[in-house]
Amino acid sequence: MKKGIIILVITYFVLFSNFSPTKGYNDEKIPVLMYHHLEEKLDNNLVISRENFDNQMKSLKEEGYNTITAQQLYNYLIGGMQLPQKPVLITFDDGYLSNYEIAYPILKKYKMHAEIFVITSRILENTVDKPNSKEIPKMNWNQLREMKDYITIQSHTWDSHYKFKSSNGSTNTALYGPGYINNKLENQTEYIERVTNDFIQSRKIIKEKLGYEPIAITYPYGVISNEAINSVKAAGFKLGFVINNKSVIKGDNRFVLSRITVNGNDSGVELINKIKNSNL
């Protein structure tokens, strides 16, 4: 009799109890940090020094944050994956050589993952090729391959990181709408074709060089249009990032996910506070 009662009680709890998954799983607030270039001893709005980047990564580690990949974020947002507690996604834009020379060793030191969003037309084949002397040096494909243990490469477009004169006469980003190409104003169809081809090309070259297709894209200057978002989807991307300085939560539009700008002057403590304030 006792055995029968125990079975009934267990059955009741299995069928009718509200089991709570690991804390934060359904309502996790996920900070996505945005970095660019690193220098040995320079900290400003867009550049961070080796020392301060190390301090920031150390602070994240000590505070119990766990780095995740863009793929894990996507799987979580569509409901198929449970994330570790205090997840954080670390991202870099543009593909600067400093990401390989400075950031990568520090990430390895703390066993932390990051995603680097590269302008694929700017990535050289190897160190023998001459970089564009007018730009901050970018990485080459050999270096990108070398970092695969802690880095995933994503897209920052094929070659749309620029601004031009738009249809209303103002200066705008290449993704936002039609603009003047060779002194001729694009029509809407030409604009959509241009950005779609750019997105497709960026995914294609990463697949050819690294063996996998990127699933995420960051929009240059954080600016995008509804038409370009449709092109992002058509090209096969699953995630797109803007810059709104707030954390990502389930239910956000996957193609306009926010990132938090990390200032080179932020101390480790200030970065942690910035993350906490982005959750409010």
pLDDT number for residue 6: 43
Fold of the CATH domain 29-278: TIM Barrel (3.20.20)
pLDDT number for residue 2: 46
Is 0.75 topped by the overall pTM?
yes
- Residue 54: DSSP 8-state: H
Q: Provide the residue ranges of all domains of the chain, joining segments of one domain with +.
A: 29-278
- Residue 73's SS3 state is helix
Please name the amino acid found at residue 15.
L
154 forms beta bridges with 117
Neighbours of 61 (CB within 10 A): 16
pLDDT number for residue 262: 97
Q: Are 168 and 232 in contact (CB under 8 A)?
A: no
Q: Which two tokens stand for residue 127?
A: 């160190």
One digit per residue, the tens of pLDDT, for the chain of length 280 reads 444 444 443 343 333 333 333 344 456 899 999 999 999 999 999 999 999 999 999 999 999 999 999 999 999 999 878 999 999 999 999 999 999 999 999 999 999 999 999 999 999 887 555 556 678 999 999 999 999 999 999 999 999 999 999 888 889 999 999 999 999 999 999 999 999 999 999 999 999 999 999 999 999 999 999 999 999 999 999 999 999 999 999 999 999 999 999 999 999 999 999 999 987 7
Residues sharing a CB contact under 8 Å with residue 208, sequence separation 6 or more, in sequence order: none
pLDDT number for residue 279: 78
Which DSSP string do the residues of 57-93 spell out, in sequence order?
HHHHHHTT-EE--HHHHHHHHTT--PPPSSEEEEEEE
